[in-house]
Structure 1
Amino acid sequence: MTSMRTSRKGSVEMPAFVRQLVKETEKRVSSFFKGSRGGAAEGEQPGEGEKEEVIPSPYLDRPVLDKLTEEGCARWGLTYALGSMQGWRANMEDYHNCVPQLGGELADWSFFAVFDGHAGNTVAQHCSQHLLGHILATGGLRPEDDPDKVKGALAEAFLQADKHLLSVARREGWERGGTTVVAALISPYYIYFANCGDSRAMLCRSGQVCFSTEDHKPYSPLEKERIESAGGSVSLQRINGSLAVSRALGDFSYKGAENRSPSQQMVSPEPEVCVMERSPADEFLVLACDGVWDTISNEDLCAFIHNRLHVCTDLRDVCSQVIDLCLYKGSLDNISIILLCFPGAPQLSTEALHQEAELEDLLESKVAEIYDELCAGGEEPDLLSVLTVLASTVIPGLPPGGGIQSKRNCIISAYYQQRDMHKPNGVEDS
């Protein structure tokens, strides 16, 4: 396995912006993001002798912006990068697996997966360490590359992984928790997708989305039918009003219906397995958790990454830009993305670099104009005021799929330059 790990932090301007963002967020949705209280109903007081139960908030007062990044390549021309960030969530529950070369007679095969844990990170961590082993143990991956056998092997491996997980959970005393999984297995001739839950894979070919996996949500008709047949219900778009995904590894409290197979339980561990024949027109493949997909569509993300690859050679930076975009568009979840680039991926473009430089010059001048106008009106411009005015301004040349949010780091930097220029001599920031 050829890879490199680094830990990167958010840009130096970010903390001040986050302080502003937190204040604005609290104004709009204070109680929801800060968690809820159990016990007495809202507006009521606990009875005599009762204690009001406080449920810990799943969200932080400000997001954790440190990013984990990883990059590597396979000998047949694949390059990849991972970007992952805790964000607003109180805990980091995402894990991943990047194996660009399986080795031996499968040296030209690659495996990548994103695991999005819930109710803790134990199951996601365990599966990230063992799922590939279960896949290889089926014996269905052979150099002759039979699609039917490989698809069967992937489905069997998920069921075996869940069965093994149950025995470990009983032994270790894991009472709750599960994980979604989205995985891509790449052979010399095919791309196999295995999806269990609401993480998602997307393949871009010739600049367009040519395939994406389907999210497994409790309110989907076939998923809802299975849930109700297993004795459950769907309310608030969740199983029994609680779990927001209908397929996952783990979550054994939802898998106790008697006389029903594992794939017929309220929560099924059976993946949806699809295969696509590889093409010279394949550009890139994305695997990401719902912290990405909750804020951006397949088409917009495809367009944004396609554009970024023309101006950025470091795939880790592209992943980092996607993460920042999702954060700025309102993602409150952990955010993880794996970007896989095939030999046909977009290449660096001199023209695109020139357009990018012109765009950033334009944004800097717009920020300066807005800052001066607000100052002339007697205001002391804060960042949100500048961003609000800029968002209503027509800006040509913004990255497709990203819009103004994708250039916020540039805007933030320009804002602080203006603020420093307008500070009286000798005045320091508090």
Structure 2
Amino acid sequence: MSQAVISDAPASPRTTELARRGRHVADRRRGPRRGSRPEALRPLLGVAIAIAIALSTWLGAVAGVGAANAAEKEPSDTTVSWSVRPADTAQGTGRPNFAYEALPGKSVADALLVTNRSAEGIELEVYAADGFLTPDGSLDILPKGEESVELGSWVEVASPRISLASGQTAEIPFEITVPADAPPGDYAAGVVASMTVDAEGVVTERRLGSRVHLRVLGDLAPAFSVTDVTVAYTGTPVPFAPGDGSVTFTLTNTGNTRLAPDAVVQVAGPFGLAPVTVRGSDLPELLPGSTIEHTVQVAGIAPLGVVTADVAASGEVVSRPGESRVPPAVADVSASATTWAVPWTSLAVVLLVAGLVTWWLLARRRAKASKEQAIAAAVAAALAERDAAEAEASTGSTDTGSTDPDSADTDPTPTRSTSGAPSAAVDEEPGSGGDDARERVPAG
């Protein structure tokens, strides 16, 4: 059996170093001790918690808004609604509205069906009022407070006020009495079921109705006019490309019958060049005396400087359903207007090019003139310099060729004898004669 031997001898330095390294490796394998998390992670943990709280709060708010919106969109059990339509009577069945014809002094009887579609009972007021066309061509009736003077005043409702339980339908009879002096022609009105609501001091009227058309028999004179034609042109950024435009005109029913109008618009350049034709659409029926304004969009207008818009309008008398009588014809009408159709982009390009060419020509002319002036100045300077040099040269030659008289008298020119012997200079004393002269013979 082996026994462990424990030695008390001191460890060597190498043994101590190996032991220290072994503990270091063991610590690395075990990982960090508990409670030694780096301090840098604490701020990040706080930020993450704050983000989570904010996100949960936002999601809760969004969910609350969504629930509120859903609650608003859910239909309320207290919503008040009703409907009206013509009743099936001797005047007709399955009718979209009321339409009659009668002689002056005669009467027409009919009825209106009113149905309560609410979950509770309602009270409604039933009455008739004159009809008119709105600017967009829709048929409307006068407000409750305004007095009717034509068809609306000829209608007498049997039950001006009714009470309906939930889901109940009531048939409301009414009678139209045409005055004996009523002019012939077409008239419009509406029979409505109305409810007045007072909400926080604001009184509003909710009403639903069915239109009523009545033609008083007699001399029918359909007619209408087209006026106030205006044309507008809008160019494109592409030079010389066709642009767009709009033509606006006014139609007025000057006759005594309802009319279904039609209009054709043509836009062309001078002498009818490059015509573009567009048919007016969605033109409403015109009641007698009514006026509407209509605009037609026109594309592909050639920029020919000036364009003319021609509006040709036609119309037909609106007949009552099932009527066998042939209505009178309606005369066509027309009107026109003119405007500028200038390709402003192309014109700007042309003007820009012309300006650049003009500037280049002027700059070239100025440069040429400056160059000619510089050459002339250089030539003039060279000529002046040459003249100055010639003048200076002329002055110098004159000074060199002149003779001093004194030098000619004091510088005798020696002479040689013709005999070949050296000449002798003879000096004479002033005032002496020839006998006293001495001959000097130069040394040999």
TM-score (norm 2): 0.22
More helix as a share of residues: 1
More strand as a share of residues: 2
Query: Over alpha carbons, which structure has the higher Rg?
Result: 2
Which has the bigger relative contact order, CA under 8 A and spacing at least 6?
1
TM-score (norm 1): 0.23
